[in-house]
Amino acid sequence: MNRFPRAVAAEFAKLTTTRMWWILALVLFGYITLLAGGLGALFGGLQSGAIDPSSGGAGGGQGGPPIDNLPPLIYSFAASVGYVFPVLLGALATTGEFRHQTLTPTFLANPKRGGVLGAKTVTLFVAGAVFGVVGLAASLGIGALVMSAFGVDPLLGDSETWALVGRLILAMALWGTIGVGLGVLVPSQVASIVIVLAFTQFVEPLLRFASMFTEATAGMGKFLPGAASDALVGASFFTLTSPTGSTLDWWQGGLVLLAYAIVATIGGYFVSWKRDVT
């Protein structure tokens, strides 16, 4: 085997020999199951009339709010909410090398540092895709069951559903590589985690919301990573609640995410990866 495939195999071994990946996968599955199952039941119930909205106390609308195409929205939770998990995995896998000083044995075994970073990116791309599958097992697996139970067609025979599945897995894979980029850009593990959580849970949603109010900022808002990801997946509750917000095409969203990953990783290579290991 050549050096690069060996480096990829070693990076996979790193990921699978600590508990982090399956702890995150488990939390991802649980979180998305709750969201997709709960909201699937709520909206499915409203739509099918199984739940009477007037008894909900929220106000007496006549009939449920008509959400057309409920299933893709439910399925997209795996990425629109779950994307933080592959980013965290990538950032933890990368910053952990600095924190535990495992860069020393890593670079001794393979002094081609660019190759090692490339191997980590490939590995986290695949791991992110696996997280996509885990997220879909919750959002699509559980979501479809719940919606069927309420008499909503889960659209499992629809080719558009399966195209969404493919795009969602790609989005999650790209988020994994963005995590690697962030990890080399901000090698302090604590700082990296704080940035991931603050940005994904607070800063970006606020920016996306704020950017909707004028046309110019809306044009910029669609290039935010979360917005690009939603565009790639092709459906999300966020875009639903902002029908005026302009979005990118799915492939443009994919390219924007890819650009974030590349810029962060190359920047991080110079900021930390190729520096002295002391």
Nearer to other proteins, 23 or 34 (CB): 23
What's phi and psi for 83, nearest 5 deg? -65, -20
Nearer to other proteins, 107 or 209 (CB): 107
Q: CB of 86: closest distance to other proteins in angstroms?
A: 20
Do 145 and 96 meet the contact criterion of CB atoms below 8 Å apart? no
Distance CA 40, CA 28 (A): 17
Nearer to other proteins, 19 or 58 (CB): 19
Distance CA 141, CA 162 (A): 13
Q: What is the tally of helices (H) and strands (E) in the chain?
A: 15, 0
Distance CA 179, CA 202 (A): 17
Residues 6+ apart with CB under 8 A from 191: none
Nearer to other proteins, 103 or 124 (CB): 103
Q: CB of 106: closest distance to other proteins in angstroms?
A: 7
- Please give the DSSP secondary-structure letter assigned to residue 18: S
Distance CA 106, CA 159 (A): 44
Q: CB of 223: closest distance to other proteins in angstroms?
A: 36
Q: CB of 263: closest distance to other proteins in angstroms?
A: 24
Nearer to other proteins, 100 or 191 (CB): 100
Grouping H, G, I as helix, E, B as strand and the rest as coil, residue 275 is coil
Q: What is the contact surface with other proteins in residues (CB under 8 A)? A: 1, 3, 6-7, 9-10, 13-14, 17-20, 96, 100-112, 276-278
Q: CB of 14: closest distance to other proteins in angstroms?
A: 5
